[in-house]
């Protein structure tokens, strides 16, 4: 798909403004890489992104794609370097900030993770999955026993479309139900947003 697009666009390159042409190519490579990642074909996705970055354009979104593949492959060192490079080049990349937060969290850097998740939250308010950053921030606040932070970020995640059904099998969130200062917030928010059945599931388990 990408090769065919490159061939067809090459013939028209002189007729297209350079930024538009470049963006079309980047979007095509990004879409193909995402499809390969979704199919679990990480090696193929990595080969595609590396080839595109070397031969066509080294775009921040493709740097992010490579960082994502490295993260999913368990190479946190390479992922950290690539994700930090992608947001340094384009600070508006919400997904890159989110994945950077995940990598930092995995490496034990909770402060750095929170910073990245906050940036992800800032950049993704209108995105369909824009609750992910606030959700992670609520979870981090809950782990610290920070009731005010927990309520603030949980409310924001819920406002953006998060549902407790996402974490019904998560022992961390079930544990919040018996944590002083967090339990009341959790019960109240579950009631307001119609997720009482999750609370009942946790209580019965």
Which sequence spans correspond to the domains of the chain?
2-123
Helix (H, G, I), strand (E, B) or coil at 128: coil
> Quick one: 2-123 is in which CATH superfamily?
Tetratricopeptide repeat domain (1.25.40.10)
| pLDDT, tens digit (0-9, with 9 covering 90-100), for 124-139 | 877 777 999 999 999 9
- How many degrees, rounded to 5, is the angle at CA 62 between CA 156 and CA 103? 50
Specify the pTM: 0.86
**Runs of H (alpha helix) within 39-178:** 42-55, 60-72, 76-89, 94-106, 110-123, 132-144, 147-159, 171-176
Contact yes or no for 95/132 (Cβ under 8 A)? no
pLDDT at 11 over 80: no
pLDDT at 150 over 70: yes
pLDDT at 57: 86
């Amino acid at each position: 798909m990408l090769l065919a697009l490159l061939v067809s666009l090459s013939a028209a390159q002189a007729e297209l403004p350079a930024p538009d042409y470049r963006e079309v190519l980047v979007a095509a490579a990004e879409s193909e890489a995402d499809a390969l990642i979704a199919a679990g074909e990480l090696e193929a996705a990595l080969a595609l992104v590396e080839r595109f970055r070397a031969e066509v354009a080294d775009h921040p979104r493709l740097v992010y794609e490579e960082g994502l593949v490295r993260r999913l492959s368990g190479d946190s060192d390479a992922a950290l370097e690539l994700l930090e490079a992608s947001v340094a080049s384009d600070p508006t990349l919400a997904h890159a900030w989110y994945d950077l937060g995940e990598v930092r969290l995995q490496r034990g850097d909770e402060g750095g993770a929170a910073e990245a998740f906050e940036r992800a939250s800032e950049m993704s308010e209108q995105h369909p999955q824009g609750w992910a950053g606030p959700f992670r921030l609520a979870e981090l606040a809950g782990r610290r026993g920070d009731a005010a932070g927990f309520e603030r970020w949980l409310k924001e995640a819920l406002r953006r479309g998060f549902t407790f059904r996402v974490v019904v099998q998560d022992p961390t969130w079930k544990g919040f139900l018996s944590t002083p200062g967090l339990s009341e917030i959790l019960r109240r928010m579950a009631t307001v947003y119609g997720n009482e059945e999750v609370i009942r599931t946790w209580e019965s388990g």
